[in-house]
A and B are shown apart, each in its own frame.
Chain A
Amino acid sequence: MTKKQKKMLIRIVIASIAIIVLHFIPVKGIVKFLLYMIPYLIIGYDILLKAIKGIKNRQPFDECLLMVIATLGAILLALFQTGDYVEAVAVMLFYQIGEWFQSYAVGKSRRNISDLMDIRPDYANVEQDGKLEKVDPDDVEIGTIIVVQPGEKVPLDGIIVEGSASLNTSALTGESVPREVTVGDEIISGCINMTGVLKIETTKEFEESTVSKILDLVENASSRKSKSEDFISKFARVYTPAVVYSAIALALLPPIFSMLFLNASATVFATWIYRALTFLVISCPCALVISIPLSFFAGIGGASHEGVLVKGSNYLELLAQTKYVVFDKTGTLTQGVFEVNAIHHNTMEEEKLLEYAALAESASSHPISKSLQRAYGKEIDRFRVAEIEEVSGNGITAKVDGKEVAAGNSKLMKKLCIPYKDCHHVGTIIHVAIDGAYAGHIVISDIVKKNSKEAIRQLKKNGIEKTIMLTGDADAVARKVATELGIDQMYSELLPAGKVEKVEEILNTKPEKAKLAFVGDGINDAPVLSRADIGIAMGAMGSDAAIEAADVVLMDDDPAKIAKAIKIAKKCMRIVYENIYFAIGIKLICLLLGALGIANMWVAIFADVGVMVIAVLNAVRALFTKKL
């Protein structure tokens, strides 16, 4: 509790006791009035002052003024007619209890959310003269060696120069399985070192480190307002004056009408003024004004805990309306790492063939050559290779152990006039010929991520109407991946510009309300990410380009997180709408009952404070995303 809240609580308690005590004191008339003014002023003096200041500053229409008019009106009625002051004081009391609760609940959820995102490191250990010294991460320069002990947070991005450990990355990725790292690995700030002592050479300043970027992103997220939030602030702007004027109309028109035409006495004024005051109490818009941004904030906080960074409440809203999901293939649905899948028609042992191919390709840094070398798995002895010649776009010829080795695609074989066998497998085919004789081919293909299929299934289950895959790869490869994963539609052999065109084409043909999300790895698809209704970038661990270009960033590269993000967004939007309908609905009903004279002040105070409390509690639910 803050100081302000404590003070308010004391005022609430004193005023409540005073009302109860006054109830048992048998006084009448002006004495009673004066006695009841004590708790009224204790509990409401700041509201009175605020209302007066509001009028002075020409900003009169706020809830303080509504409360002051309502309670002063009730006091006047009591003074001249009913003698019941309790109602006026109680209204003010309950209003303050509501305000107090609101400030407490908001403060509490604010703390909850910041605890959830508690990834900011407090210090970095720098070794100086053989001693560890704790310094502010802000002061650490690039290239400094820092030490991270077990149980500590990694304060800055860097490369490990000594030691190995398991890292807990759950605060960043939502992933609970620890990650093993060792010398030479890159390490990002915000992870928690669980086991060994690590020495890290920093590669970024604190401002540029992952932790700062994430915090910055999440903190600024709620400044991008969603349509629902805009609606609420516009609504509140029109609503308060409208209610005040209708209350005035309610107080004046019916009694004047009945006096003129129905010969009623002047006492009907009292009834209608009471109704108008009830009307004012019900009308406070705070339940909406507070609970909608709170829901979004909680939703964004909950999502970031799951490793899904949403850059604004508007994107959360769009995400919930997504019906089309367009994927980039390589790096998104597949690992983007090529692997040797099969070896066919080999005239010698598979390993021997692979050895020749790997040796021939040993000088190349092409991903395919790399994958051959990886599949070979042994140290490559460069001295066995000579006369390496790269035939651009075709492959490589070289002398390995004195034998002529040619490794490359079918064009190379044709060029060398070597008869080759085509492959029925899908992927990149490397034909190998030794001393002019065909020796077989090696099939290399990208591997589908193990979660991709489940991810597509989950998306379908969550109301995604169409999944589309775009790729620059060959048609056969794309088709195979698409059928394997159960993707509805695919476009292959696209250049990067072609991907933008395709997305625009889909955007033009889809219905306006169904939103389109594009999922990419953020490396060369920035234009597509920004063209789609929502750009989702995967694997942001370390890639600045992805964080910049996308609207939603998945911290790790697990495609299943897309469905999770959509579920979180849907839950959040459900809560937002619940609150809008619930709060406006109850208020309208109570307003009607108040105007008809069925609802009294007590009902009115529930309509105001009760609805607000329920709406705030409901909003906090958006924070809980674990079970989705």
Chain B
Amino acid sequence: MKKTYKIEVDCANCANKMEDATKKTEGVKDCVVNFMTLKMKVEFEDGADVDAVMQNVLKNCKKVEDDCEIFL
């Protein structure tokens, strides 16, 4: 399953970091962060609990880039 979220982040490098962090989160199959359109597309593993996974994604992203935001 795929879902698109709006994000807020200041620099392109930080967007790359968010992408890496999201990819490493459990339950996430793949992720693409688009800095230019400020959107992230997350593909979930089958049967993953989307809301719980996204909470973890947000936590992991905050870890690598403090002032990023994902609008869940």
A residues sitting closer than 8 Å to B (CB atoms) are 46, 49-50, 53, 57, 59, 62, 99, 102-103, 110, 113-114, 219-220, 222-223, 233, 236, 285-286, 289-290, 293-294, 297
Contact = CB atoms under 8 A, between A and B. Distances in A.
Contacts, number: 51
The dominant DSSP class at the A interface is: helix
Contacts of A293: 12, 35-36
A219 B11 contact: no
B16 interface: yes
A113 B34 CA distance: 14
A57 B35 contact: no
Contacts of B66: 49-50, 53
Contact of A222 (B10, B13, B34, B63): B34
Interface string B27-70: 00000101111110100000000000000000000011011000
Contacts of B39: 219
Given A222-B37, A289-B11, A293-B35, 19 more contacts: A46-B67, A49-B66, A53-B66, A57-B64, A59-B64, A102-B11, A110-B37, A110-B38, A219-B39, A220-B32, A222-B36, A223-B34, A233-B13, A233-B16, A286-B11, A286-B13, A293-B12, A293-B36, A294-B36
A49 B36 CA distance: 26
B40 to A, nearest CB: 10
A393 to B, nearest CB: 49
Contacts of B16: 233
A293 B19 CA distance: 15
A480 to B, nearest CB: 47
B23 interface: no
Contacts of B32: 220, 223
Nearest to A58: B63
A227 B11 CA distance: 20
A63 to B, nearest CB: 8
A103 B10 contact: yes
Nearest to B19: A223
Contacts of A62: 13
Q: 8 closest pairs, A vs B, by CB? A: A297-B36, A223-B32, A289-B13, A57-B63, A219-B37, A290-B12, A222-B36, A289-B12
19 contacts: A46-B67, A50-B67, A53-B66, A57-B63, A59-B63, A59-B64, A62-B13, A99-B10, A103-B10, A220-B41, A222-B34, A222-B36, A233-B13, A233-B16, A285-B13, A286-B11, A289-B11, A293-B36, A294-B12
A611 to B, nearest CB: 15
Nearest to B66: A53
A289 B41 CA distance: 21
A62 B66 CA distance: 12
Nearest to B13: A289
B13 A236 contact: yes
A113 B11 CA distance: 18
B64 A290 contact: no
A114 B36 CA distance: 10
Contacts of A290: 11-13
User: Which of A46, A49, A103, A219 has the most C-beta atoms of chain B within 10 angstroms of its own C-beta?
Assistant: A219
Given A53-B66, A57-B64, A110 B36 contact: yes
Interface string B1-22: 0000000001111001100000
B34 A220 contact: yes
A233 B64 CA distance: 16
B31 to A, nearest CB: 10
A113 B36 CA distance: 10
B43 to A, nearest CB: 12
Contacts of B34: 219-220, 222-223
Nearest to A298: B36
A59 B11 contact: no
Contacts of A114: 37
B3 to A, nearest CB: 14
A223 B41 contact: yes
A62 B17 CA distance: 11
A50 B66 CA distance: 7
B6 to A, nearest CB: 12
Contacts of B10: 99, 103
Contact of B17 (A59, A99, A297): A59
Contacts of A53: 66
A124 B56 CA distance: 39
Contacts of A285: 13
A359 B51 CA distance: 68
